[in-house]
Amino acid sequence: MSAQILHVTSRDNPALVRLRKLATEPGGYRKTGSVWIEGDHLLRAALQRGWRPALVVLTEAAMQEATLAALVESAPRVLVVPAGLFKGLSGLESPAQIGAELMLPAASTLTPNAASVVLDRLQDAGNVGAILRSAAAFGVRQVLALKGTAALWSPKVLRAGQGAHFGLSLVEGLGAEDLSTLVVPLIATSSHTEHVLHRIKLPSPCAWVMGHEGRGVSAELMARCALTVGIPQPGGEESLNVAAAAAICLYESERQRA
């Protein structure tokens, strides 16, 4: 692919104006159908999964680095900008030198028999991204987000996911009633159960339900769960961070399956 390269020095360039909104509005992608990713790590992760950027933006300095300049061939359009203009697109304390706009695929539909993770109103973007990363690492390809969960394609969740997004089927904006389509059993963690995670045979495939950081899984959703399990905490803490709990549960599911 031969990229069209344009040198831009005005912050009023329409593409830069659009990207600044994507970089600062967590749910902006719902209006544009595209997302802004920052840094060569995320761009390489997307390319490895077969995604192709609609637009690449990089600094003048980055254009002089062979490894970064090579990435422009993946896009039909490239904007080369001064470092000051790129900083306006960055959500990082130390801005990267390259980023890209990716067009999102058509909204995914729920796959009834797929191993899944269900996110019940998780608020923290770092937790959401970390759970997506664990899901991808342990081979769970479907993540279902209920209404009230942090926007899955927001810049902060994308950064925390470290590229996991590009290998997952993500469905968001669901209600608890939508989960009735699932034919795999739902499992939640609970401190009020006799079942200990590593001592009980887990169904496979299943859907792990991860609840709100402060309030946990809703009563309505808990009532839909076929099983609740506890994670041993001999250190005496009241509860685990939800992203840590998700990683432990997904690991145990994969350990038993294997």
- Tokens in use for 90? 């960055």
Would the pLDDT of 1 be above 60?
no
Kindly tell me the sign of the dihedral angle through the C-alpha atoms of 199, 205, 209, 210.
Answer: positive
- Go through the domains of the chain in sequence order and give each one's CATH number: 4-103 (3.30.1330.30), 116-257 (3.40.1280.10)
Residues ≥6 apart with Cβ < 8 Å to 84: none
Contact (Cβ atoms closer than 8 angstroms) between residue 211 and residue 249: no
Tell me the C-alpha to C-alpha distance, in Å, between residue 223 and each of 39, 122, 175, 182, 192: 42, 18, 14, 15, 14
What is the tens place of the pLDDT at every residue in 138-192? 999 999 999 999 999 999 999 999 999 999 999 999 999 999 999 999 999 987 8
| Distance of alpha carbon 208 from alpha carbon 119, whole angstroms | 9
What pTM was estimated for this model as a whole?
A: 0.93
What is the tens place of the pLDDT at every residue in 182-226? 999 999 998 788 898 999 999 999 999 999 988 889 999 999 999
DSSP secondary structure letters along 199-233: GSPPPSS-EEEEEBTTTBS-HHHHTT-SEEEB---
What SS3 class is residue 34? strand
- Tokens in use for 66? 């062979």
| Distance of alpha carbon 203 from alpha carbon 188, whole angstroms | 12
| Distance of alpha carbon 165 from alpha carbon 185, whole angstroms | 24
